[in-house]
Structure 1
Amino acid sequence: MNLIIKLLLNALAVFILAHLLNGVTVDGYVGAIIVAIVLAILNVFVKPILVIFTLPVTILTLGLFLLVINALIILLADKLVDGFAVNSFWTAILFSILLSILQSILYSIFKEQKTD
């Protein structure tokens, strides 16, 4: 159940950012859910491989190259999902930064209260 809630929160974040940023478009709620699922799959399977291959560059840039990797993941999702479009690489970087911030805000609002 926790996975479904996180996917729906990610879809909400994608939908909100698509309406706020000029260079990002998504076709409706279903398109946002599909983008959230594709981003989750890419983050699980593709991102670790990219991080391992680019580890020396990531170390040299003190981790800032991870922003480039996140942008590449978003551009890959743009190519895989028909109802999702990102105009440029710089828009993808801005989208990834804002998506991370919005996801952390939404997760903190909707996180489950642990009982001791």
Structure 2
Amino acid sequence: MNFFTRILIDTILFIALAGLFAQTGMFYVSSIWVALLASFILACLNVLVKPILWVLSLPINIMTLGLFSIVINGVMLQLTSYFVGSMYFHFSSFGAAMLIAIIMSVCNAILADHTND
């Protein structure tokens, strides 16, 4: 997928998931512009930080047959929340960040399959 397409899809997913979990308080996004900023920051972190975390966690990732990558995705979302500001974009717990990471990974996998050229 194109870089900007991924940012747009992540923005829509952030807004949709914030609306889905609005009553629970698990995930909060204050506006569409914050979701767009968070998507851009997440994309930058995925390019800069995620490869380093992936290499450092490679042994545990192999032992868990790749399931530890969910934890890495949760960490990336928590870092995004930190950089955007917890006042505008936050998760209630690390478990909530991991749940959002799982849902976003599944949605991105489905959409990536349908948007290939």
Cα root mean square deviation, aligned: 1.5
Matching residue of 2:45: 42
Matching residue of 2:102: 97
* Cα distance in structure 1, aligned partners of 2:6 and 2:78: 21
**Partner residue of 2:31 out of 20, 28, 31:** 28
Letter in 2 for 1:72: V
Flag the structure with larger Rg: 1
Q: Does 1:6 align with 2:11?
A: no
Do the aligned partners of residues 107 and 56 (structure 1) sit closer, same or farther apart at CA in structure 2, a change above 3 Å counting? closer
Moved >6 Å (runs of 4+):
none
Aligned residues: 111
Matching residue of 1:16: 16
Deviation string, structure 1 residues 35-78 (Cα, Å, up to 9, x no partner): 10011011111010001011111111111111111111111111
TM-score (norm 2): 0.86
Q: What is the Cα deviation at residue 27 of structure 1?
A: 1.3
Percent of aligned pairs with the same amino acid:
35
TM-score (norm 1): 0.87
In structure 2, stretches of 5+ residues that fail to align are: none
